[in-house]
Chains A and B, each alone.
Chain A
């Protein structure tokens, strides 16, 4: 589930996050935000792109290249890797070392 989006002002290095519920619409060119939404501090999170993927049997499946999600609800659809897409229902755990998926 997508919970937040990370944003950065133009010409600024400081990052903040916007809650997914504050988003009005997600389009190919822009994200519309309700004007009342205020950005907040970045919560604790794991960096997903570039994270290594392990099956529950302990075999590596490469790294996360991208994440496919439903724009309406923010639900994860799939994890895109160099070896193809992994459907979201195979995900088991996300930690500091790896994303663990069910062996398929």
Chain B
């Protein structure tokens, strides 16, 4: 069964090869805002004093996103990304704290976190306005597939249509 994970909880997850070596840890999750998918992960080195890595992990190279580790086939799966490209990607895909509006303009709230579907053949997508998002928001922990956005509802906002 594929597990739903909050993108924030993926941070510091170790990136482990099938050979059992930990090569990095997850620093941030990159989203492709236009396609509504997880693009990949930026990485940092393991250990207290290690900073961000120049390499990133594209979603296509992820063997499996598990509860305790992100599995990759080997260290060759990591892609070299120029820092500028990675930074631009992070800014374009900035989802946390983004405002959520209905198509009629009513404000629903701000994005608190993004739910990513784990497993070996996960889609890794997210959708802020799908009916599934509403269902998940009302029943956290309930069964469901796909990948949704968790939004904080402003207390005085009008009851907008999701």
Contacts and interface: CB of A to CB of B under 8 A. Distances in A.
Given A97-B14, A98-B69, A57 B120 contact: yes
B18 A58 contact: no
A60 B20 contact: no
A56 B64 CA distance: 7
B67 to A, nearest CB: 5
Contact of A96 (B20, B63, B64): B20
Nearest to B46: A97
Given A95-B22, A97-B22, A59 B67 contact: yes
Nearest to B74: A93
Contacts of B14: 97
B70 interface: yes
Contacts of B70: 58
B16 interface: yes
Contact of B17 (A57, A59, A93): A93
B66 A57 contact: yes
11 contacts: A56-B64, A57-B119, A58-B16, A58-B66, A93-B19, A94-B19, A95-B16, A95-B17, A96-B20, A97-B20, A98-B69
**Secondary structure of the A side of the interface?**
strand
Interface of A: 54-60, 92-100
Nearest to B22: A97
B69 A54 contact: yes
Nearest to A99: B20
A100 B21 CA distance: 9
Interface of B: 14, 16-22, 63-71, 118-120
Contacts of B21: 95-97
A54 B68 contact: yes
Given A58-B64, A93-B17, A96-B22, 10 more contacts: A54-B66, A54-B68, A57-B64, A57-B66, A94-B20, A95-B17, A95-B20, A95-B21, A100-B17, A100-B20
Contacts of A97: 14, 16, 20-22
A58 B69 contact: yes
B19 A56 contact: no
A58 B68 contact: yes
Nearest to B64: A57
Nearest to A102: B18
Nearest to A94: B20
Contact of B20 (A57, A59, A98): A98
